């Protein structure tokens, strides 16, 4: 009997402790969700959502299906789920972000996957989501896209019991890189730049909740 199942993955809620250096910026956060090896021969699938926070929380549980859905994908055996959350981005930044990324955010081209994997050898496979966002930001015109949190979990559809067909997942978010607040002061023709640490590398910075329906 085939172990292949259909996964429907939805976003329920995002909680951030600190919104980083852009916490006063009017804009939306970008969420990248990746399925890692959902089935043989498929290394990665990606989906993107944007969301706004109210008191550092985005609650989508009462939103419609279209607003919450991330994937409806065939899965087999054990696969991973990775999430990456950016700081707020303006409409212009998000427009450039998606214009550059295009369909590659849903299905990465072979050369992109190869480049990301080779670049992640030193830091491990967990670095790929961060590096991909950084690459998109750089190539799309130096878009500021500090990453406020990353997290991951794994699912085994073979061991999922009948009672586990609908699962609620809580993924802790950790800061992958130091986030600074930069302040520039000019006086008498000279400019002084000072940086202050807003978030430390590895610091806990909230939680993300997903619902997975497997059938």
Output the six-digit token pair for 215: 């059938």
Give the start-to-end residue ranges of the domains of the chain. 5-214
The residue behind tokens 């190869």 is: 114
CA 66, CA 123: separation in Å to the nearest integer? 35
CATH class of 5-214: mainly beta
- Burial zone of 146 (CB within 10 Å; 0-12 exposed, 13-18 middle, 19+ buried): buried
- Per-residue pLDDT 10s for the chain (215 aa) are 467 899 999 999 999 999 887 766 667 888 889 899 999 989 888 888 889 999 999 999 999 999 999 999 999 999 999 998 988 887 777 766 665 555 444 444 444 444 544 444 444 444 445 555 555 545 544 445 688 999 999 999 876 555 458 899 999 999 988 888 877 676 666 666 788 898 999 999 999 999 999 98
Contact 58, 14 (CB under 8 A): yes
Output the six-digit token pair for 95: 């427009």
pTM of the model: 0.76
């Amino acid at each position: 009997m085939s172990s292949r199942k259909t996964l429907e993955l939805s976003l329920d809620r995002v909680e951030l402790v600190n919104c980083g250096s852009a916490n006063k910026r009017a804009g939306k956060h970008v969420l990248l969700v990746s399925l890692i090896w959902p089935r043989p021969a498929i290394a990665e699938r990606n989906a993107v959502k944007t969301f706004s926070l109210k008191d550092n929380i985005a609650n989508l549980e009462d939103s419609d299906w279209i607003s919450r859905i991330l994937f409806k994908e065939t899965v087999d055996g054990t696969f991973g789920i990775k999430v990456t959350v950016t700081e707020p981005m303006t409409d212009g930044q998000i427009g450039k972000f998606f214009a550059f990324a295009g369909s590659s955010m849903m299905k990465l081209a072979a050369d992109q996957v190869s480049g990301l994997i080779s670049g992640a050898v030193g830091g491990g496979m967990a670095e790929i989501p961060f590096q991909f966002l950084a690459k998109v930001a750089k190539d799309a015109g130096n878009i500021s896209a500090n990453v406020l949190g990353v997290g991951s979990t794994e699912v085994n559809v073979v061991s999922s019991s009948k009672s586990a067909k609908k699962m609620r997942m809580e993924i802790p978010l950790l800061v992958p890189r130091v986030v600074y607040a930069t302040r520039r002061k000019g006086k008498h023709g000279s400019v002084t730049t000072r940086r202050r640490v807003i978030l430390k590398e590895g610091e806990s910075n909230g939680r993300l909740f997903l619902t997975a329906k497997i059938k």
